[in-house]
Structure 1
Amino acid sequence: MTVRHIGTEIGHLSRISIKLRAASDQTGAMTMTAPTTLEKIATWAATTSSDWSINSVTPAIHAIADTVACMVSGATDAAAIGVRTTVHSWPAVGPGATIVGSGCRAPAPFAAFANGTAAHAQDFDDNFLAALTHASAVLVPALLALGEETGASGADIIDGYLVGLECHAAIGRGVNRSHYLKGFHATATVGCIGTAAACARLLKLDEFRTAHAMSLGTSMAAGLKGQFGSHAKPFQAGMAAQNGLLAACFARDGVEGRAEVLDNEYGFLKLFGGDAPPGWDFAAFPLGTPHVIEAVGLAPKLHPCCGSTHKSIDNLLDLKAQHNFQSEDVESMHTFVNTSNVLNLCFDAPQNEMEARFSMQYCMAVALKYGFLSLQDFTPEAVQRPEIRALMPLTTMDATPPEAELNPAGEYVHELTVKLKSGAVLKTARTCAKGTIGDPLKDAERRRKFDDCCVPVLGDAKSATLYAACNDLIGCQDLAELIPNMLASSAGHAHVA
């Protein structure tokens, strides 16, 4: 099976028909006004062809599989367990949707909340640089929950994912990086609006209802970077998955919002845009031409920690591979990153695993000592290892000025200088982290990550079955038959050791 003629040229996606809106002037005569930003995006989301290029479908399947693995592993995290425990108070009356790590089911919005929290709990889910969101951690839980409840096919999920990802990018480009630098958690703000569009697509809403879904999603968008390093960060991703799904369902059932809510004086751009938002430029960034997953790509993670550390970790691993030094050979390590990275990495001396994910010092110490980072490095016991804490003071950070990040075409180079006790000074730099479109993961690396997430929770056999099912998602006719068998587990409270 294909996603409705999978090989059709991606150029078909640019044929967007936007209707002008009718409005009354002061005399009562009808005038025609140009469509709002929201209407332009919604019209594309509702009407674009589902004849996706194989170059879009393949990375979408990889992203969905990667997120499912993060959901399975993340369901063992304390944040996910807490949300799941609360959600269990409202069991599904009808068929509902699967809660990963649980034998229970819940209405789709609550399942999306629980699974979205799990997907982001260990900060191992992908980054999406076009929107500055963890797009998949919001999109995949929402689409799987809604799709399971409505009997959608795997092809429907892929279609909704690709529409939602483009809408994440479209919304984000209007406000970022200014929005992100102001302190908003774009995963939970931009992500909520884009995910409303994805769920509207899955529900097959027309452009009118899709615009209302996104408008309502704008009212439900919330999340602060001030919560980084706590349970509230993944909670915000789960909240965005729930709210995006709810916004689409409310719009389906007749609830309406204002079409100009992105643009008006009290709208998203003015209130959430930060100090220097660029606004929307559809000439520079035409919707779906080519699809953003082909043009920019996603950034699946090899390291289970904040993406702000990744170029520095990769720089260090590159130097270790080239020069074959060990931790005892190093006198100091100095990283040069962006201001937002320094603000994200706010724990110089982390005391628990959540703080450790947002500590450059901890992550660099582990990479220096062992040559890689895994989920096993982010447990309460691992964070207190004396051999790691002794290495943490070796790392220092400097940053570019904040205004350097406001250039939308910026490459954001991260530099590393390592001084050895021998007197040698080693330097390197990266414009992209491992896993991004400029340095993509190999099939073996994707599988190794999937197993790292799933085998400690599900065992070898079930993990292998789940991996195969995810990669054959396009052949699934009804998620209601697939998801419960693949993801439900009564052993969901086990801790990944």
Structure 2
Amino acid sequence: MSTKAIANWTSSLTYSSLPLPIIQSAIQSFYNWTGCTAGGSAHPATTIARNALTPFFGAATSTLLGCEHRTTDAQHAALLNGIASHVHDYDDTHLETIIHPTGPVAAALLSIAETLQRPVSGEEFITALVAGIEVECKCGLAVWPSHYDVGWHITSTTGSIGAAVAVSKLLGLSPDQIAHAIGIAATQVTGLREMFGSHTKSFHPGRAAQNGLIAAILASNGYTSSLEALEAKRGWVNVVSDDNKLQNLVASLGKEGFWEIEKNSFKPFPCGIVIHPVIDGCIQLHSRLDGSGKRCQDITDVQLTVHPLVLELTGKTKPRDGLEAKFSVYHGAAIGLLLGKAIPGQYEDAVVTDTEVISLRDKIHATADEKCRPDECHIVINFASADGVPASIVKHVDHAVGSVHCPMSDNQLTEKFMDQCVPVLGLERARSASEWCWALDRHKDICEIKDVF
């Protein structure tokens, strides 16, 4: 009875039972999410969705982060904040499953918190956030890797379940009601990997947030589902994958050493995380080139050795725009070498179609090696030489920045937050928002967020 076991664990979870490192991980995850959401609020994918759906907005209760003084109904806020949080592909990643866990959960949780006729403390919010992320990632691990390999976007297919659990926790639902919410969420399977590189990829976590929110609200009003929605023969796990490791994973919920949120990682670059070792190495090589007197124009070819997932997920050799470039290891390497940085500005369409970037991109070749870890790569740059003697520079990245072994510091996360938020909020509001989010656990009412974003 895995579904019921999850429901019972969720119902009994308390803030006082959360270890300090878990609370700190939750604050970091929420902080990173708010920056990504505000930063993505003006992206065309977000604005198109917002403008298209405005005629259907209901009572304005919930904040759209990054849209000054803009509110909408909870369902649409969950959807639109979820889209905004993922559109730059800059949000957090649970590396074992490649789930972006906070987006669906936080988008649903914040939108419903603002509708309640009572204060929601930071401690209460964190407890619900942790519950949702833990269940979301355990479900992902239960179906990994066959679920992802066949073509499901695991962030959204598990995200609706995580969102339903989090909202159920915040609403104080009974174990049976939480189990029904899980079932209502699980039946709303959303997200195909075919959509990567289009606006629809960011729609996935937004829709998952909306679906999970609806599931919890329906369950709170007596709507029923199967109480074995996850584990039954024709339940979620067995329908969406050839793997089924759910029972043991559920038994590990809340156990020391088995917290999934503690494994969360944060992206220094706004693209598929499997590209990060290459970008990290190429940015370091950019500095070496500057010091050596060599120029990118003198490069004859660049040879990358990468984990097999890099070519499977990010093998686009000729991306047509910024969204496709997020799935091009060749573009990532080119901007790292040529520009020495990779923030959202390097994924604008104008950069992707720049002739100098294209020229270097066409000289880059990648080879998959099963011995290469996901956070590792090997780079060899070959140059033309005036005296006819070949020259090369080699760089090996053992653990990319942003990985579990080389995590971003709070100072780096703050720099990332400000880089995204200042263009949207202005310097002073961005500073206030940053300070407010870092103090999440000390707030008496999470709804104060509308005053800072």
Tell me if the contact between 2:182 and 2:229 (Cα under 8 Å) persists in the aligned partners.
no
Structure 2 residue 200 is matched with structure 1 residue 238: no
Where does residue 437 of structure 2 map in the other structure? 470
CA deviations over 1:181-231 (Å, ceiling 9, x no partner): 111001110111122111111111121111111111101121000000000
2:209 partner letter: A
Tell me if the contact between 2:325 and 2:347 (Cα under 8 Å) persists in the aligned partners.
yes
Where does residue 372 of structure 1 map in the other structure? 341
- Give the C-alpha shift of residue 328 in structure 1: 3.9
Q: Distance in 2 between matches of 1:295 and 1:193?
A: 16
2:436 partner letter: A
Q: Distance in 1 between matches of 2:76 and 2:313?
A: 28
> Which of 396, 407, 413 does residue 440 from structure 1 map onto?
407
Q: Distance in 2 between matches of 1:85 and 1:424?
A: 51
Structure 2 residue 316 is matched with structure 1 residue 344: no
> Which of 132, 150, 153 does residue 121 from structure 2 map onto?
153
Give 5+ residue unaligned stretches, structure 1.
1-35, 405-409, 488-497
2:339 partner letter: Y
Where does residue 14 of structure 1 map in the other structure? none
- Give the C-alpha shift of residue 313 in structure 1: 1.5
> Which of 390, 414, 424 does residue 359 from structure 2 map onto?
390
Tell me if the contact between 2:375 and 2:400 (Cα under 8 Å) persists in the aligned partners.
no
Mapping 1:249-328, distance limit 5 Å: 249-273=217-241, 276-282=242-248, 286-290=252-256, 292=258, 296-319=262-285, 327-328=296-297
Identity, in percent, stands at 27
Mapping 1:156-235, distance limit 5 Å: 156-235=124-203
1:382 partner letter: V
- Relative distance call for 1:249 and 1:400 in structure 2 (3 A) is farther
1:184 partner letter: W
CA deviations over 1:169-189 (Å, ceiling 9, x no partner): 211111011111111001110
- Give the C-alpha shift of residue 86 in structure 1: 3.0
- Relative distance call for 1:412 and 1:378 in structure 2 (3 A) is closer
> Which of 61, 74, 85 does residue 96 from structure 1 map onto?
61
2:432 partner letter: T
Tell me if the contact between 1:347 and 1:355 (Cα under 8 Å) persists in the aligned partners.
yes
Where does residue 140 of structure 1 map in the other structure? 106
1:343 partner letter: E
Deviates more, 1:71-80 or 1:262-271: 262-271
Tell me if the contact between 1:375 and 1:452 (Cα under 8 Å) persists in the aligned partners.
no
Q: TM-score with structure 1 length normalisation?
A: 0.83
Tell me if the contact between 1:193 and 1:221 (Cα under 8 Å) persists in the aligned partners.
no
Point out the structure with the larger helix share: 2
Q: Distance in 2 between matches of 1:311 and 1:278?
A: 31
- Give the C-alpha shift of residue 232 in structure 1: 0.2
Tell me if the contact between 2:130 and 2:261 (Cα under 8 Å) persists in the aligned partners.
no
Tell me if the contact between 1:131 and 1:168 (Cα under 8 Å) persists in the aligned partners.
no
SS of residue paired to 2:362: helix
Where does residue 416 of structure 1 map in the other structure? 378
SS of residue paired to 1:416: strand
Matched length: 440
CA deviations over 1:403-462 (Å, ceiling 9, x no partner): x9xxxxx954642231322433625243x4322321111232111101110001111100
Structure 2 residue 12 is matched with structure 1 residue 47: yes
- Relative distance call for 1:223 and 1:331 in structure 2 (3 A) is same
- Relative distance call for 1:207 and 1:418 in structure 2 (3 A) is same
> Which of 37, 57, 65 does residue 23 from structure 2 map onto?
57
Structure 2 residue 416 is matched with structure 1 residue 449: yes
- Give the C-alpha shift of residue 254 in structure 1: 0.8
Tell me if the contact between 2:382 and 2:391 (Cα under 8 Å) persists in the aligned partners.
yes
Structure 2 residue 330 is matched with structure 1 residue 361: yes
Where does residue 10 of structure 1 map in the other structure? none
Tell me if the contact between 2:376 and 2:400 (Cα under 8 Å) persists in the aligned partners.
no
2:110 partner letter: L
1:364 partner letter: A
Q: Distance in 2 between matches of 1:278 and 1:317?
A: 40
Tell me if the contact between 2:304 and 2:364 (Cα under 8 Å) persists in the aligned partners.
yes
- Give the C-alpha shift of residue 470 in structure 1: 0.5
- Give the C-alpha shift of residue 255 in structure 1: 0.9
- Give the C-alpha shift of residue 247 in structure 1: 0.8
Where does residue 19 of structure 1 map in the other structure? none
Where does residue 80 of structure 2 map in the other structure? 114
